[in-house]
Amino acid sequence: MDMRDIAKLAGVSSATVSRVINGFNNVKPATAERVRRVIAETKFYPNSSATTLKHGKSSTYGLIIPDITNPFFPEFIRSFERIMVEWDRDMFMATTDFHASRVQQSIRRMLIRKVDGVALLASEIETEPIEALIHNRVPLVTMDRRLTGPGLSDVLIDYGSGMDEAVKHLKRLKHRRIGYIGGSVGPTISDHRRDAFIATMKDNGLKAEQELIRAGNYRIPGGETAMLELLALSHRPTAVIAANDLTAIGAMRTIQKHGLSVPEDISIVGFDDIELADILHPPLTTLRLSRSELAGIFFKALEALRSEPHAQGQQYAIRSGLVVRGSTGPAHSE
């Protein structure tokens, strides 16, 4: 069943059917009505492959995320998908599970499907697949990579603003030995966060001790392991800031398993503010990053590059802000 079949049944040409489907107004209302009736009766759906082939554009954006089981991403996807549906775009999602090879594979698939742009929220970024995108004039919007170029925009996560609030909050609670559990070693995005921590500590007249800075992996087990190391120190931190909420949850679990309490013994601050943060015991103090705002920025950035895939990209930014809940309290005086 194609447009020619519809045309035949409605006694018109396929060109007219196309015009009706695409809502052109230069069709006589009676004719349009007749065509629409046939379409409904036959349950006809136009074939998007033909349209994409014709236009060279698919009205689809690719979305690459590292870990769909981190609640931050489903919450992001929900917002992103809503915007896409509203604007009549399709979303093509892929997960990397933190493997660079999966990023490459995903980008390959997206190039084959002729997506109109890629939103890359994973941090396992290699230059080769990115060059393939740029070379094929497919716009790319990255997260916190802090690099722009032709067809390449970036959304900076202003970790610093929230981090400053967090450190000031802890300082007010008399914390001096503040630890940090970062993300995976390697990706620059992890470095940005760690550097923000160190800089903020300094700005607030506190020392960021080397031994209190550990690496995690953005997941619960990473937080557990890192916290274990911190607990083994002769001189423990009284508060710990984590690179994301899952890491913070892992840290909290370890503390509690050791018979210690949050926040009585150690205060914990997360990052993201996943919905879950509010149902934990104690509820997590965290730096909020708005998923819907982030989704909106990504969409805006993609649209801006869609019409002109080789235009100079932009640097966007999104702020984070402290949400105080139960996982932070006065410093445990030793």
Partner DNA sequence: GTGAAAGCGCTAACAA
Partner DNA sequence: TTGTTAGCGCTTTCAC
Binding site for a second copy (CB under 8 A): 1, 43, 45-50, 52-53, 58, 68-69, 71, 73-75, 77-78, 81, 85, 90-95, 97, 105, 108-109, 111-114, 131-132, 135-136, 220, 249, 253, 275-276, 279, 281
Instruction: Decide: 262 and 268 in contact? Cβ < 8 Å.
Output: yes
Q: Please name which of 283, 277, 281 lies closest in space to residue 246, comparing C-alpha atoms.
A: 277
Q: Pick the closer one to a second copy by CB: 109 or 332.
A: 109
Q: Shortest Cβ distance from residue 134 to a second copy (Å)? A: 10
Q: What span, in angstroms and rounded, lies between the C-alpha atoms of 330 and 294?
A: 33
Q: Pick the closer one to a second copy by CB: 178 or 246.
A: 246
Residues 6+ apart with CB under 8 A from 74: 68
Q: Which does 281 bind (CB under 5 to 8 A by kind): a second copy, DNA, none?
A: a second copy
Q: Shortest Cβ distance from residue 245 to a second copy (Å)? A: 12
Residues 6+ apart with CB under 8 A from 184: 98, 123, 190, 215, 216, 217, 218, 222
What strand order describes the sheet that includes 140-143?
90-95, 60-65, 117-120, 140-143, 152-158, 315-319
Q: Shortest Cβ distance from residue 258 to a second copy (Å)? A: 15
According to DSSP, the residues that pair with 120 across neighbouring strands are 64, 142
**Cis omega (within 30 of 0) for bond into 139:** no
Is the CA virtual torsion 270, 273, 275, 279 positive or negative?
Answer: positive
Q: Which does 11 bind (CB under 5 to 8 A by kind): DNA, a second copy, none?
A: DNA
Q: Please name which of 244, 318, 319, 320 lies closest in space to residue 288, comparing C-alpha atoms.
A: 320
Q: Shortest Cβ distance from residue 115 to a second copy (Å)? A: 10
Q: Pick the closer one to DNA by CB: 19 or 193.
A: 19
Side chain identity at 192, as an amino acid letter? H
Q: Pick the closer one to DNA by CB: 8 or 82.
A: 8
Q: Shortest Cβ distance from residue 307 to DNA (Å)? A: 14
Chain positions contacting DNA, by CB under 7 A: 2-4, 7, 11-16, 18-19, 21-22, 26-28, 30-32, 46-47, 50-51, 53-56
Q: Which does 135 bind (CB under 5 to 8 A by kind): a second copy, DNA, none?
A: a second copy
Q: How many other C-beta atoms are found inside a 10 Å radius of the C-beta of residue 45? A: 9
Q: Shortest Cβ distance from residue 30 to a second copy (Å)? A: 26
Q: Which does 97 bind (CB under 5 to 8 A by kind): a second copy, DNA, none?
A: a second copy
Q: Which does 264 bind (CB under 5 to 8 A by kind): a second copy, DNA, none?
A: none
How many CA atoms within 13 Å lie on the side-chain side of 303? 13
Q: Pick the closer one to a second copy by CB: 112 or 232.
A: 112
Q: Which does 105 bind (CB under 5 to 8 A by kind): a second copy, DNA, none?
A: a second copy
Given its phi and psi angles, is residue 157 left (phi above 0), alpha (psi -120 to 50 degrees) or beta? beta
Q: Pick the closer one to a second copy by CB: 126 or 275.
A: 275
According to DSSP, the residues that pair with 272 across neighbouring strands are 288
Q: Shortest Cβ distance from residue 53 to a second copy (Å)? A: 4
Q: Please name which of 80, 69, 86 lies closest in space to residue 294, comparing C-alpha atoms.
A: 80
Q: Pick the closer one to DNA by CB: 108 or 258.
A: 108
Q: Pick the closer one to a second copy by CB: 126 or 191.
A: 126
Q: Shortest Cβ distance from residue 23 to DNA (Å)? A: 11
Which pair of structure tokens corresponds to residue 61? 């954006």
